[in-house]
């Protein structure tokens, strides 16, 4: 069974070029499943039928695993068995007719426009690091890009004069995102008044740390936490909450959902549609507060 797992992980790494983090997740999920089979005295994968898989899923549930975790495990099993069948290692897929547990729809947390203004007003732009931080925060809110996309930006991906950036999202898919005048202004100020004071060697990275090397995701998380504290924002503030706020504020102000989907880099429109629930909630709140007969 371990040999099959190794072949599957090799396929994911080489043929599908999945990230190391994704491979680690697949390995952990499937290793747990194989350990369950050994405990049940199931000697080979061919003897694990639909009932076996259902019993495993039930075991995860009664052990307190969340619906999201159970769904992820089942998705890993589906991919694994689909690979085994396609490679002729198994004749039947025991997961073919299984349904994923229904996930409760969680509305993403967002900042108000006033809270965003407070946060973005914190960096001291008379200092090189402050200029960098201001440019990063403005760019993050202007584009809604992921933190991984932000810190991986290179100089040749930022086209300030033309008002857009090129970034590479999940699956290395490239997309073009407009940046707006305010973000462009601070990006330009960072390049002319900040970056060259931080950089110490030839480095293509757009955003660099105090040592002149590419800023890391962890480094940016510390930065955003610091400014949220300075601003007195009591909500949890993360790079992803800025991304949620970007999408929500666009939709609240009349942007069409397809444009927001393209800017966020969502492959499926259903992923973007969760933000429409937030805007409907906002409209209901305004209606209840202002209509005489609400």
Known catalytic residues are: 146, 170, 240, 243, 266, 275
Task: Please give the Cα distance from 111 to 231 (Å, whole number).
Answer: 12
* Rounded to 5°, angle at Cα 244 from 239 and 246: 95
Q: Which residues of 41-74 are buried (b: 16+ CB within 10 A; e: fewer)?
A: ebeebeebeeebbeebbeebeeeebeeeebbbbb
Residue that has been written with the tokens 């004069």 in this structure: 161
Q: What percent of the chain is helix, strand and coil (3-state, nearest 5)?
A: 60, 5, 35
The first and second tokens of residue 15, run together, are: 């043929």
Q: Are 191 and 136 in contact (CB under 8 A)?
A: no
């Amino acid at each position: 069974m371990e040999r099959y797992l190794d072949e599957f992980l090799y396929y994911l790494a080489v043929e599908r070029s999945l990230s190391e983090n994704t491979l680690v997740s697949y390995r952990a999920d499937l290793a747990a499943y194989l350990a369950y089979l050994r405990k049940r005295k199931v000697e080979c994968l061919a003897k694990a039928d639909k009932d076996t898989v259902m019993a495993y899923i039930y075991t995860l549930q009664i052990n307190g695993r969340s619906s999201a975790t159970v769904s992820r495990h089942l998705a890993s099993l589906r991919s694994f068995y689909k690979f085994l069948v396609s490679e002729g290692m198994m004749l039947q897929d025991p997961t073919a007719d299984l349904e994923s547990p229904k996930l409760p729809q969680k509305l993403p947390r967002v900042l108000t426009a006033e809270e965003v203004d407070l946060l973005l007003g914190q960096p001291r732009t008379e200092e090189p690091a402050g200029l960098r931080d201001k440019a990063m925060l403005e760019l993050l809110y202007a584009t809604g890009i992921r933190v991984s996309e932000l810190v991986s930006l290179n100089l040749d991906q930022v086209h300030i004069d033309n008002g857009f950036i090129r970034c590479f999202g999940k699956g290395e898919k490239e997309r073009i995102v407009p940046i707006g005048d305010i973000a462009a202004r601070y990006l330009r100020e960072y390049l002319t008044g900040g970056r060259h004071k931080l950089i110490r060697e030839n480095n293509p990275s757009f955003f660099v740390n105090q040592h002149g090397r590419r800023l890391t995701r962890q480094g940016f998380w510390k930065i955003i936490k610091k400014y949220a504290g300075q601003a007195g924002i009591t909500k949890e503030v993360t790079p992803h909450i800025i991304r949620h706020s970007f999408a929500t504020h666009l939709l609240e102000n009349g942007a069409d959902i397809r444009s927001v989907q393209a800017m966020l880099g969502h492959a499926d429109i259903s992923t973007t549609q969760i933000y429409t629930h937030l805007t409907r909630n906002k409209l209901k709140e305004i209606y209840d507060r202002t209509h005489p007969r609400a």
